[in-house]
Amino acid sequence: MAAKKILVVEDNEDTREILLYRIKSMGNYEVLLAGHGKEALEIASRFRPDLIIMDLKMPVLDGWEATKTLRQTDWGKDLPIIALTAQAMEKDEEKARNAGCSDYIAKPVMDYKILQKKIEKFLT
Ligand SMILES: [Mg+2]
C-alpha cells in the first residue's frame, strides 16, 4: 500500500523537524514540509496530501487563512486538517474550528500518542 502523505506546516524549524521525525516513526507516512501558509497551499495543490498538520500562527500566511483557502478548493474541502494550537490560547481552538480545521492539538505536543491517534482516526 502506498504511503499516506502528511503535510506538516509550521514556521518554527525545530518544531517542524521534531514533527517530521515523530510522524515518520508512527507508520508508513510520507511527510512533506512547509514553513508558512502560502508555501503550504503551493505544496498541497501540487502533491495533494492525505492530511495536513497546520500551525496557526505563522508569517506570510497564517494557518487560519490557509485553511479557509483550502476549504474553498474541490480537493481540499474535506481534507483532514489538524491545527496546532497554542496551549494558553483557549480561543485558538474555537478559531481553528471556525476556519474549518477538522481537529486540533495543543502545542508543544507532549504526548505524541495522542497525535498518532488523531492521525490514524483520519487515515484508516
Ligand atoms: Mg508558529
* Rounded distance from Cα 79 to ligand 1 centre (Å): 21
> Quick one: fold of 4-123?
Rossmann fold (3.40.50)
* Rounded distance from Cα 12 to ligand 1 centre (Å): 6
What is the predicted pLDDT for the residue at 93?
82
| Residue found by looking up cell 498538520 in the block | 53
* Rounded distance from Cα 86 to ligand 1 centre (Å): 9
* Rounded distance from Cα 32 to ligand 1 centre (Å): 17
What is the predicted pLDDT for the residue at 119?
98
What is this structure's pTM? 0.95
What is the predicted pLDDT for the residue at 55?
95
pLDDT tens for the chain, 124 residues: list them.
Answer: 789 999 999 999 999 999 999 999 999 999 999 999 999 999 999 999 999 999 999 999 999 999 999 999 999 999 999 999 886 667 888 888 888 999 999 988 989 999 999 999 999 8
What is the predicted pLDDT for the residue at 88?
63
What is the predicted pLDDT for the residue at 86?
81
> What is the DSSP code (8-state) at residue 33?
E
* Rounded distance from Cα 28 to ligand 1 centre (Å): 26
Q: What is the largest CA-CA distance in the chain?
A: 40
Q: How far apart are CA 69 and CA 72, in angstroms?
A: 5
* Rounded distance from Cα 71 to ligand 1 centre (Å): 21
Interacting residues of 71 by C-beta distance below 8 A, sequence separation 6+: 77, 99, 100
Burial letters for 40-72: b for 16+ Cβ neighbours within 10 Å, e otherwise? bbebbeeeebbbbbbbbbbeebbbbbbbebbee
